[in-house]
C-alpha cells in the first residue's frame, strides 16, 4: 500500500512525503514490490591485488575478496530495481572484511581518540572508554575513510589529509557522546551486552561525559577552519536534540505517520552518517555534485540501517541484541514495523494505548506486529533506501573503496536476510 504523498513543514524544512529539496531531503518513498534480482552473489571472483601508497610504506591488499555487485550479470551502474534479501545470505559480508582496506586508518583513529578525548580528566576518559570498548564497529569513521579515499581518487590524491583524519575522530566523538546521552534518556542498563556509562559511573558523570565529548568535538571542528563542514556537523548536533524531542512527544501515539518516523530516524541516525560522508568528500576537494551524492549515500544508508535495527528489535533475542527484545515498543517508541502493522490490525492500537499495563500485553503486541506483515513491509522500506544509497555511488570510479561502500549496504541488509 503506497504512502500518500503530502507536504509538511518541520523545523523550517518543507518536506514532500518523505522528501524535501534541501540537504536534509528525504526521497519520495512508496512501498513497492521488488523484483527478484541477483545481488551480492557467490559467483564473484576475488579482486586482484591492489597497492596503495601510504606515506613511505606500501600497503598491499592481496587477493582480497570484495563482492562485486551485479544485476542479472550487469554492474551496479545499471541498477534500477530493488535488491533481493536472499542474495545476501548466500555471500555473507563481515565488518572485518568491509574495513580491511582502511584498517590502518582505523588503528590510527583509535590511538588518536585516546589522546584527544580527555587525557586531562581520567574519570571522563574512563566513561568514554566504556563506550569505546563496548564492541562498536567504528562504522562512521570507517565510512569517512572509505569516502575520503574513494573521492580522493577522483582528484589524484594519494594520501588522506590531516583534516580527513580529524573529521573521522570528531564524528566518532559525537557518536559516542550521543550514545552516552541516549542511554541516560532511555534508562538503558546495557549497550552491546555491557553496562552503560550511567550504570557504571552514575547519571551525573554520564551526562557530563557526553557534554564534554560534544564540547571537545566542537572545538576540534572549529579548528578545521572549513565553514561548510562546520555548518554541516553543527547541524547534526542540533538534529540529535530535535530527534529526541520528536520521539519523546510521540510515545504511544498510534497516529504517528511513516514520514514522521523517517524524519525522526534522519535526525537521530542518518544525519550524522550523511554529514560524515559529505564532509569527507569536501575535504577531498570533490565538486558540489559529488559531495551531494555522498550525502545522499550516507543519508539513505543511515535510514536503511535504522529500519533494519528496528526490525531486529522484534526478530532477534535479547542475547543477540545486547538488550531486551521489544525495548522500543515497550517504551512507546513506535517504529516502522509497528506503524505498518497498525494499518492492518486495530487490536494492536488498543493494546498500545493501554501502555502495556496488562500482563502479557507486550508479548501479544509483538506477535501481532509479526503476524500482520509489519516486518515484511519494513524490510521493503530498508531495501528501498538501500537502492537509493547504491545509486548514489555511481559517480565514483571503481576501486576497492567504492566496492567496500557498496558492500556496506549489503552488510546492512544481510542482517535481516
| Integer Cα distance of 301 and 274 in angstroms | 8
Give the per-residue pLDDT at 98: 84
Report pLDDT digits (tens) over 178-191. Answer: 888 888 887 777 77
The kind and range of the H/E element at 57 are strand 57-61
Average pLDDT over residues 7-17: 38
CA nearest to 92, candidates 411, 412, 416: 411
Residue 117 banded pLDDT, cuts 50, 70, 90: low
Residue 292 banded pLDDT, cuts 50, 70, 90: very high
166 Cα distance to chain centroid: 20
% the chain with pLDDT above 70: 72
251 Cα distance to chain centroid: 22
Q: CA torsion 286→292→298→301, rounded to 10°?
A: -130
Report pLDDT digits (tens) over 49-88. Answer: 333 333 333 332 322 333 444 333 334 343 334 455 555 5
| Integer Cα distance of 323 and 311 in angstroms | 14
Neighbours of 151 (CB within 10 A): 29
Half-sphere exposure of 291 (CA within 13 A, CB side): 18
pTM of the model: 0.78
Give the per-residue pLDDT at 83: 57
Report pLDDT digits (tens) over 399-414. Answer: 999 999 999 999 999 9
**Grid cell at residue 256:** 504517528
Angle between helices 288-315 and 374-391 (to 10 degrees): 160
**Grid cell at residue 217:** 568535538
- Residue with more model confidence, 390 or 321: 390
State the pairing for strand pair 70-71/74-75: antiparallel
Residues 6+ apart with CB under 8 A from 300: 27, 270, 385, 386, 388, 389, 392
Residue 322 near residue 192, CB atoms below 8 Å = yes
State the pairing for strand pair 13-16/57-61: unpaired
Least confident piece of the model among 24-33, 301-310, 381-390, 405-414? 24-33
Least confident piece of the model among 5-9, 241-245, 269-273? 5-9
Amino acid at each position: 500500500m503506497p504512502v500518500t504523498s503530502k507536504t509538511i513543514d518541520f523545523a523550517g524544512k518543507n518536506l514532500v512525503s518523505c522528501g524535501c529539496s534541501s540537504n536534509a531531503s528525504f526521497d519520495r518513498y512508496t512501498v513497492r514490490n521488488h523484483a527478484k534480482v541477483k545481488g551480492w552473489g557467490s559467483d564473484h571472483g576475488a579482486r586482484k591485488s591492489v597497492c596503495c601508497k601510504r606515506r613511505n610504506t606500501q600497503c598491499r591488499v592481496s587477493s582480497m575478496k570484495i563482492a562485486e555487485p551485479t544485476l542479472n550479470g550487469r554492474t551496479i551502474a545499471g541498477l534500477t530495481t530493488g535488491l533481493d534479501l536472499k542474495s545476501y545470505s548466500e555471500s555473507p559480508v563481515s565488518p572485518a572484511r568491509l574495513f580491511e582496506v582502511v584498517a590502518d586508518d582505523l588503528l590510527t583513529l583509535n590511538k588518536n581518540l585516546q589522546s584527544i578525548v580527555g587525557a586531562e580528566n581520567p574519570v571522563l576518559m574512563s566513561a568514554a572508554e566504556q563506550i569505546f570498548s563496548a564492541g562498536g564497529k567504528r562504522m562512521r569513521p570507517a565510512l569517512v575513510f572509505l569516502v575520503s579515499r574513494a573521492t580522493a581518487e577522483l582528484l589524484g590524491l594519494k594520501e588522506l589529509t590531516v583534516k580527513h583524519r580529524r573529521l573521522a575522530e570528531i564524528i566518532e566523538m559525537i557518536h559516542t557522546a550521543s550514545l552516552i546521552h541516549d542511554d541516560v534518556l532511555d534508562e538503558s542498563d546495557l549497550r552491546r551486552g555491557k553496562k552503560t556509562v550511567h550504570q557504571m559511573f552514575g547519571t551525573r558523570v554520564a551526562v557530563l561525559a557526553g557534554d564534554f565529548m560534544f564540547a571537545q568535538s566542537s572545538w576540534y571542528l572549529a579548528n578545521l577552519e572549513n565553514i561548510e563542514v562546520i555548518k554541516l556537523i553543527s547541524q547534526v548536533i542540533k538534529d540529535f536534540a530535535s530527534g529526541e524531542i520528536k520521539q519523546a512527544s510521540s510515545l504511544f501515539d498510534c497516529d504517528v505517520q511513516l514520514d514522521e518516523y523517517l524524519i525522526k530516524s534522519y535526525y537521530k541516525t542518518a544525519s550524522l552518517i550523511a554529514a560524515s560522508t559529505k564532509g569527507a568528500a569536501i575535504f577531498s576537494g570533490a565538486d558540489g555534485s559529488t559531495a551531494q551524492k555522498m550525502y545522499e549515500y550516507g543519508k539513505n544508508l543511515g535510514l536503511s540501517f535504522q529500519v533494519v535495527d528496528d526490525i531486529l528489535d522484534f526478530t532477534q533475542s535479547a542475547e543477540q541484541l545486547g538488550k531486551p527484545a521489544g525495548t522500543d515498543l515497550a517504551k512507546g517508541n513506535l517504529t516502522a514495523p509497528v506503524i505498518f502493522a497498525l494499518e492492518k490490525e486495530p487490536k494492536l492500537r488498543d493494546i498500545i494505548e493501554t501502555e502495556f499495563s496488562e500482563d502479557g500485553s507486550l508479548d501479544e503486541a509483538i506477535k501481532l506486529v509479526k503476524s500482520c506483515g509489519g516486518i515484511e513491509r519494513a524490510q521493503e522500506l530498508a531495501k528501498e533506501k538501500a537502492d537509493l544509497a547504491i545509486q548514489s555511488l555511481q559517480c565514483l570510479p571503481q576501486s576497492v573503496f567504492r566496492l567496500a561502500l557498496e558492500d556496506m549496504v549489503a552488510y546492512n541488509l544481510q542482517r535481516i536476510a
